Structure 1
Amino acid sequence: MDIIPAIDLIGGQCVRLTEGDFSQQTTYHSDPVEVAKQFEGLGLRRLHLVDLDGARAKKPVNLPVLERIARQTKLIIDYGGGLQSSEAVRQAFDAGAQQITAGSIAVREPQTVEAWLQEYGADRIIVGADFKDNRIAINAWAEQSDLTLESFLASFSEKGAKTFICTDVSKDGKLQGSSIEVYQRLLERFPTLQFIASGGVTTIEEVRQLHEAGLHGAIIGKAIYEGTIKLEDLAKEVI
């Protein structure tokens, strides 16, 4: 299972939100490049980079940060936030992202994301399935759509997507555990898809449980910054 630390960006700084609420923001580090280097130095190989400014602006804002991290590390970066056009996706790839995450646009304009899947391939386009109470959440999690999680996954599976970041919005940033039962249900229903758990991962034991359940990856953010999961312990899971 891929261990994927997260860096969320506001104003070029490393921050975390609770339940995606911009009014519940904690700033952890002024230089995300140094944070990324720390991850790499401990043997972690991947990075989930979220442009929260971009999510609000509906266009990438922190591409210079992406470019610096890509230039100064060898981390495999997936980038999301504000990717609402084909031009924005190209900009993200040109700045050094190896993968991008298509979030709200996958709900509003599924045909656009389908075109990206055809152009770049399913290995480079991850679909973000942010959910709350089994409904897909959109617009930086500010509202829920009418789509159920399962119907959304089934639709994009038919369009060629194979990797999904499934974030339980109700658990994100709360350090109260992730939705392992939901992921287990999804794995049973969609055994050929790759699911990356996100939201609420709190302990190293939970990381192991997600691995044993068959998750393709786990994104870990606040647990790292608050110290409920030690980076050294995560590195052991990778190595």
Structure 2
Amino acid sequence: MIEIIPAIDIIGGRCVRLSQGDYNRLTTYDSRPEEIARRMADAGVGRIHVVDLDGAKSGAPVNLRSVEAIASLGVAEIELGGGLKSDSALRSAFDAGATYAIGGSIAVKDQPTFAGWLRSFGPQRIILGADVRDGRVATDGWLADSPLTAADLIDRFRADGLTQAICTDIASDGMLKGPATEFYTGLSEMFPDVTVTVSGGISSMDDIMRLDDLGLKRVIVGKAIYEGHITLKQIEHYISTRG
């Protein structure tokens, strides 16, 4: 069964969603991150995808208090991304209660450091973040572009033990128009030893069931939950009946 991982994006300690990674196209939600996390965990999910958008933009973690508040609930594992560009930032993420750390910009710009994280903390705790726009990996909170493809970036770290990668299709992110299915199945076939997480475009439970049928292992769901296209009750039912 595909693992459903709900997303919490944070700016200024509040839950938000962006459309296509654009900080000027932002929707803020009333509930605090820890309140939403508890409701997500009550639906049966075991992992929550948390992104510190302030950290992604500034280059260092900003919303670690929110991470601490979620972690203190003890209800789900946290995979954290956003601004993790140094050893000290990584340590602060784990100290705040993150179970897994996502490295995106650091993997593009500082290969030795990210490779060192994989070796030191293990591939079970370090996740590669490859966020793609027009076929190329974007960095710095999606504000800059690199010449690398997602496949280039995944291949770069296979020798260091990489086993997990979150690949976001930026064009689909927050648009509720369905995921770029061929992109994800292609990556999974190319790298069978790496679990590729689908991120971007999920609009309904039908999208999730199709990804499951195609053999994909993990999917991140964000805006579809906040806008009511997928309810936590639906996720709970899916987990209880397919698990």
1:29 shift after superposition: 2.5
1:184 shift after superposition: 1.0
Classify the secondary structure of the residue corresponding to 1:84.
coil
Q: Which amino acid is the alignment partner of residue 194 of structure 2?
A: L
Between the aligned partners of 1:210 and 1:157, the Cα distance in structure 2 is: 24
Between the aligned partners of 1:125 and 1:33, the Cα distance in structure 2 is: 23
1:235 shift after superposition: 1.6
CA contact (8 A) 2:59 2:140 kept: no
1:194 shift after superposition: 0.3
CA contact (8 A) 2:177 2:203 kept: yes
Classify the secondary structure of the residue corresponding to 2:54.
helix
Q: How does 1:70-85 map to 2 (within 5 A)?
A: 70-85=71-86
Between the aligned partners of 2:36 and 2:128, the Cα distance in structure 1 is: 25
1:234 shift after superposition: 1.2
Q: What residue is the counterpart of 2:160 in the other structure?
A: 159
- Cα deviation, 1:138-165, whole Å, max 9, x if unaligned, reads 1111222111222111112222111000
Between the aligned partners of 1:238 and 1:55, the Cα distance in structure 2 is: 31
Is residue 2:105 matched to residue 1:99? no
Q: What residue is the counterpart of 1:182 in the other structure?
A: 183
Q: What residue is the counterpart of 1:29 in the other structure?
A: 30
1:2 shift after superposition: 1.4
Classify the secondary structure of the residue corresponding to 1:164.
strand
CA contact (8 A) 1:40 1:73 kept: no
Between the aligned partners of 1:166 and 1:207, the Cα distance in structure 2 is: 16
| Structure 1 unaligned regions, length at least 5 | none
Between the aligned partners of 2:34 and 2:90, the Cα distance in structure 1 is: 21
Q: How does 1:104-119 map to 2 (within 5 A)?
A: 104-119=105-120
Q: Which amino acid is the alignment partner of residue 160 of structure 1?
A: G
- Cα deviation, 1:87-116, whole Å, max 9, x if unaligned, reads 111111111111010011110001111000
Normalised to the residue count of structure 2, the TM-score between the two structures is 0.96
Q: Which amino acid is the alignment partner of residue 141 of structure 2?
A: A
Q: What residue is the counterpart of 1:193 in the other structure?
A: 194
CA contact (8 A) 1:198 1:218 kept: yes
Q: Which amino acid is the alignment partner of residue 186 of structure 2?
A: R
Between the aligned partners of 1:63 and 1:160, the Cα distance in structure 2 is: 28
CA contact (8 A) 1:8 1:15 kept: yes
Between the aligned partners of 2:189 and 2:126, the Cα distance in structure 1 is: 23
- Cα deviation, 1:64-100, whole Å, max 9, x if unaligned, reads 1101110113211001101111111111111111101
Between the aligned partners of 2:160 and 2:111, the Cα distance in structure 1 is: 9
CA contact (8 A) 1:47 1:78 kept: yes
- Cα deviation, 1:18-75, whole Å, max 9, x if unaligned, reads 1111000000124111100101112111100000011112111111110111011321
Structure 1 window deviating more from structure 2 (146-155 vs 117-126): it is 146-155
Structure 1 window deviating more from structure 2 (72-81 vs 9-18): it is 72-81
Give the paired residue count: 239
Is residue 2:133 matched to residue 1:132? yes
Structure 1 window deviating more from structure 2 (210-219 vs 120-129): it is 210-219
CA contact (8 A) 2:38 2:75 kept: no
Classify the secondary structure of the residue corresponding to 1:147.
coil
Classify the secondary structure of the residue corresponding to 1:146.
coil
Q: Which amino acid is the alignment partner of residue 198 of structure 1?
A: S
Between the aligned partners of 2:159 and 2:47, the Cα distance in structure 1 is: 27
Structure 1 window deviating more from structure 2 (157-166 vs 15-24): it is 157-166
Is residue 2:145 matched to residue 1:144? yes
CA contact (8 A) 2:16 2:27 kept: yes
Q: What residue is the counterpart of 2:239 in the other structure?
A: 238
